[in-house]
Every structure is written in structure tokens, then in C-alpha cells.
Chains A and B, each alone.
Chain A
């Protein structure tokens, strides 16, 4: 069955004596926003790191777009079409916003280092392609006007959104977002929701890790809940909101009955 774009089957991770993730099944449907939520230390980032090949799995298999990607090298997984943002932001602070995004498209180009020295015409064409693509992404996400600013001079919220744009630049089939709303103020958070929505409407699929319930409940089609490395629930936002185990483990009363 190739109903899901990403399929985790019995994926688990041990760090020495610590079982960070118990055997975990997740199915991400094509063109959807699938959220993975859970309290601190639940194993969410560890799961993303296994999907992207940063960590080797201790067991189980990961299938992406019909291919087994378990324990493949990170850059090869990325080439198959998985993009990612990081919980602790990883941008290029001393480069401009536009340059940050253009680096994302490096792998879409073909001219090698030696040929690039002499192929004046070809490099100009490639560079124009990269610039136009990056600019149209920035335009879509509302950051075109600040494209020539150094990344380190942009507000934190915009840096986080630029990480999403950089991931989109690789033409991924799936983007993993690790806590994109963490550290954002309410207006930045609203902008972020807007950005993810827009990207979703443009055909992108997201796997979203998030603590912020506004963001999760507003955006998600499906939710998986982890607690202490174990999946305690999975379903539609409505079902999760009304799941007793989830409420006690994580959500708190505020979201129980609204």
C-alpha cells in the first residue's frame, strides 16, 4: 500500500539504557499536515532525527514515498525529498536572507565546480534560476522586502520562517518542522500559521512537531501523541482533544471540552 508518503513501522531508539522512543508506528498521508505532539523529552526530536538519518534506528523500518530509507545517509534522504527545520534554529547568520534560501537550491543545479569556472553563460542561467525561485518563495511567504538583509539582523520569527523557505527551496515532498512556533510571540505565531497554510495550499506536505496547541489544532489533519517515548494516542484533532489519556498526560483542562 502506498497510501502514506511517510510510514514508520516499529521504529525505536535506545540511548544506552534510556529507551527514548518505544516501537512507534506513524502514517503520514500525502498532502496533509500531520502533527506529532507530546511533553518535553517525549522523543519527538529523536523521531525526526531517525527519519532524517541523523540517528540510526535501534529497530523498525522507515518508508518514504515507497522506498525504505531506514538508516540511509542524511543527504541521500534529503535528496529523496524530505526537508526539515530545526528545533534550535540552524540558519546561516552572516549571509543574506536571499543567500540562505538560494543555498537550499544548490542540489537542483548541475554545473560542477570546474565547468563553472569556464561556463560563463551556464552559470548565469543557473544563478538566475536559483534567484528567481528563491525570490518567488520569499514573495509567497511575505519576506521579499528583506531579502538583502543579513540573516542575523532579522527578527527571530522571520529567521524561523526563512528556515521553512529554505527547506521548500529543495522541492521536497515532505517537510518536517521541529517546533516552528517555539519562542515566537503571538503575532509571529499567527504569521507562522499563515505561512504553513500558504505552503500547504501550494501543495507541500508537513510533519509538524509542536507544543503550541493553537498552532496544532488550527493546522493539523492528523495528530500522533507521544509521552515518555510511547504513542498514547493518534487521530483527528477532535478525537485527540477529547481523549482522556492525552488530556491528563499533556493538554490540561483548558482544551478538554471546547
Chain B
């Protein structure tokens, strides 16, 4: 009974997601939904470091930028397929994972966070100043869209569906890792790494693995962004962006895959809903998010579930009374 009902919810949610662009029939919102999908992938990656291992990584913007530029520049300069660019972005992710993983072994807490902020700033400086390669502050234009069976994925709706497939793959992978012995090991590292080492675990290699997964998800998200907007510039990749990804991991439910998806959706969609407030929209957004973190320390999903059980028990009490 219960299982059937849950399956029904999943099917309904699946149908809504599948028909979303058709339901809204609105370019603006379709773009927002594409951004939600990209952000979900990036946030699922960050969840390994910030959600499970518990290290505050504020370098996501830098990772994302390198993925976007890596894929865009490779396709633009060589004329190769964006799919190859995507592969290259993933490879860059592995390199970044190792490069960020090593400092994370020695630097704890706020020192690690500062290092990741520094990483993002260095990336930005390079993107701005290597004008010959990156186009400097002008950015990179005319980036090719993905193609599928000879069809260019050059509309918002087509992109939505292609990226939905990407997101499903990312979701599958993230779910498998989080719910495996590796996810458990990552969580135990957050709890007490001395004890983990005494179990014979080579912490350095485990952390670097986690950083690689995180960075590959991030660079792939970056490449998706580049081939969707078809124009990128360094100004996009600021530490604010990194901060928003951390919020995505935190607000939904720390460490959990559904929590990260909900977090990505909230942090991406809410500002758009608040745009009507004009100059006050950003401050309202941050107040809501902050209040949410204070009011629902276990995340919005947990809060939602509590609300539902409360309504249910309220209803049964009513029925009994009647």
C-alpha cells in the first residue's frame, strides 16, 4: 500500500518533470529550469566534500569556470564536437580534484575554505588576463551547442531534455556512491578522521577520490553551462556563486541526495520568484534562506516531512472525533 503510493508520487513527479517545458510554455522559465538541472549536477558533486566529508569548499565557481572554459575553448579552437569538450572538462575535473585534494589534507576548517576562495580568485585572474587564450573580460562567444544524431541542441526546450538525461545519469552515480561503503566512509571522515586512519584507511587517497568526483561533477556542469548559453565570461564565476552552491548543499538536507536536489531547486528558483520585489529581491532571498536554516536545522525536506505527518495525524484525530 505505502510502497504503491510512494511509487505513484514518483511517477507523478516524473511526468511533471518530463512535461515541464510544455506546461509552462515560457522561455524564461525554461531557462530557469535548465539552470536548476545544471546546478543540481554541480551541487550533487559538492555534496561529497561539503555534505559528507564536511569540508567547506568555496571553490566551486573556479571548478565550474574551468569546466566551462575548458570545453568551450577546445571546441572553439579545434572545431571538435562539444561532446569531446565535455570529455575534456571531465578530465580537467580529475586534475582539479587532485590539486584541491592535497591541500585539504593539511588545511583544516576555515584555512581550507580560504584556500578554495583563493583558488577561485586565481582562476578568475587567469581567465581575465590570458587574453590571447580566453578572450579576457570579453569572454568566449559563439560556443557550439551539443548535437545529438545530427540534430543541434540549440533551443531551450531541446537543451532541457538533453540535460535532463545528464542529470539522471549524475543522479544515479551520486546515489550509488552516497549509499555505498564509500559514502559511509566519507561521513565517518567528517566525524573522526583519526579513528578512520586507525582502521587502515589511507585517508589521503580517499579524500582525493572524493574531490575528484566533486570536481568532475562541477566541470561537467560548467561545460553544460557553456554549451547552453553559448557565451561565457569571467565575471560569472565569483565567490558568490560558490556560496550559493554551498547553500544548495546545506538547505535541503546535508549529505542526502534528495536534499541536495531540493536545495538546488530552491536556491535557483526562489530568486526568480522574488524578482517582482525589485531592488529588495536579493535581500529577501537571503533572509528567507537564513531563516530557513535557523528554523529547519535538518533541512527543508525534513521540515516538509514533519509538516505532512502533522497534517496527517491532525486529520486522523478529526476523523476519530467525527
In the complex, the chain A residue whose C-beta lies closest to that of B195 is A90
Collect the chain B residues with CB atoms within 8 Å of residue A104's CB.
Answer: 199
Among A78, A113, A126, the residue within 8 A (CB) of B177 is A113
A99-B184, A103-B188 given as contacts; is B173 within 8 A of A117 (CB)?
yes
Most buried by B among A75, A83, A166, A167: A75
Q: Give the distance in Å from the alpha carbon of A4 to the alpha carbon of B176 in the complex.
A: 44
Chain B, interface size category, equals 20 to 34
A-B contact pairs, 22 of them (CB 8 A): A52-B198, A74-B198, A75-B201, A76-B200, A79-B200, A84-B198, A90-B194, A91-B195, A92-B192, A95-B184, A95-B187, A104-B199, A106-B184, A106-B185, A106-B200, A113-B213, A116-B177, A116-B181, A118-B176, A123-B176, A167-B198, A170-B199
A103-B185, A106-B181, A127-B181 given as contacts; is B192 within 8 A of A91 (CB)?
yes
Any A CB within 8 A of the CB of B27: no
Among B199, B209, B213, the residue within 8 A (CB) of A78 is B199
Any A CB within 8 A of the CB of B279: no
Q: A75-B200, A92-B191, A170-B200 are in contact. List 17 more A-B contacts (CB 8 A).
A: A75-B198, A78-B199, A86-B194, A90-B195, A91-B195, A92-B188, A92-B195, A93-B191, A103-B185, A103-B199, A107-B199, A107-B200, A116-B182, A117-B173, A117-B176, A123-B181, A130-B181
Among A83, A93, A94, A100, the residue within 8 A (CB) of B198 is A83
Q: Give the distance in Å from the alpha carbon of A86 to the alpha carbon of B181 in the complex.
A: 24
Collect the chain B residues with CB atoms within 8 Å of residue A99's CB.
Answer: 184, 187-188
Collect the chain A residues with CB atoms within 8 Å of residue B301's CB.
Answer: none
Shortest Cβ gap from A219 to chain B (Å): 22
Q: Give the distance in Å from the alpha carbon of A95 to the alpha carbon of B181 in the complex.
A: 13
Q: How many A-B residue pairs have CB under 8 A?
A: 87
Any A CB within 8 A of the CB of B203: yes
A78-B197, A78-B198, A92-B195 given as contacts; is B176 within 8 A of A116 (CB)?
yes
Collect the chain B residues with CB atoms within 8 Å of residue A116's CB.
Answer: 176-177, 180-182
Collect the chain A residues with CB atoms within 8 Å of residue B201's CB.
Answer: 75, 106-107
Any B CB within 8 A of the CB of A242: no
Collect the chain B residues with CB atoms within 8 Å of residue A103's CB.
Answer: 184-185, 188, 196, 199
In the complex, the chain A residue whose C-beta lies closest to that of B180 is A116
Collect the chain A residues with CB atoms within 8 Å of residue B198's CB.
Answer: 52, 74-75, 78, 83-84, 167
| Chain B interface SS verdict (over half) | helix
Q: Give the distance in Å from the alpha carbon of A104 to the alpha carbon of B195 in the complex.
A: 9
Any B CB within 8 A of the CB of A33: no
**Is the pair A113, B182 in contact by a Cβ cutoff of 8 Å?**
yes
Shortest Cβ gap from A154 to chain B (Å): 14
Any B CB within 8 A of the CB of A102: yes
**Is the pair A117, B199 in contact by a Cβ cutoff of 8 Å?**
no
Collect the chain A residues with CB atoms within 8 Å of residue B181's CB.
Answer: 102, 106, 109, 116, 123, 126-127, 130
**Is the pair B184, A166 in contact by a Cβ cutoff of 8 Å?**
no
Binding site for B on A (CB under 8 A): 52, 74-76, 78-79, 83-84, 86, 90-95, 99-100, 102-104, 106-107, 109, 113, 116-118, 123, 126-127, 130, 163, 166-167, 169-170
Shortest Cβ gap from A132 to chain B (Å): 14
B158-192 toward A: CB 8 Å interface, digit per residue (1/0)?
Answer: 00000000000000110011001110110110011
Among B180, B185, B195, the residue within 8 A (CB) of A123 is B180
Q: Give the distance in Å from the alpha carbon of A169 to the alpha carbon of B199 in the complex.
A: 9
Q: Give the distance in Å from the alpha carbon of A50 to the alpha carbon of B166 in the complex.
A: 50
Most buried by B among A99, A103, A109, A127: A103
Q: Give the distance in Å from the alpha carbon of A94 to the alpha carbon of B298 in the complex.
A: 13
Collect the chain A residues with CB atoms within 8 Å of residue B184's CB.
Answer: 95, 99, 102-103, 106
Collect the chain B residues with CB atoms within 8 Å of residue A90's CB.
Answer: 192, 194-195
Collect the chain A residues with CB atoms within 8 Å of residue B194's CB.
Answer: 86, 90
Within 8 A of A (CB), among B29-47: none
Collect the chain B residues with CB atoms within 8 Å of residue A106's CB.
Answer: 181, 184-185, 199-201
A94-B191, A113-B177, A123-B180 given as contacts; is B197 within 8 A of A75 (CB)?
yes
Shortest Cβ gap from B49 to chain A (Å): 14
Q: Give the distance in Å from the alpha carbon of A14 to the alpha carbon of B83 in the complex.
A: 59
In the complex, the chain B residue whose C-beta lies closest to that of A109 is B181
Instruction: Please give me the 8 A-B residue pairs with the lowest Cβ-Cβ distance, nearest first.
Output: A92-B191, A78-B200, A107-B200, A90-B195, A79-B200, A103-B188, A117-B176, A90-B192
In the complex, the chain B residue whose C-beta lies closest to that of A79 is B200
Q: Give the distance in Å from the alpha carbon of A94 to the alpha carbon of B188 in the complex.
A: 9
Shortest Cβ gap from B71 to chain A (Å): 22
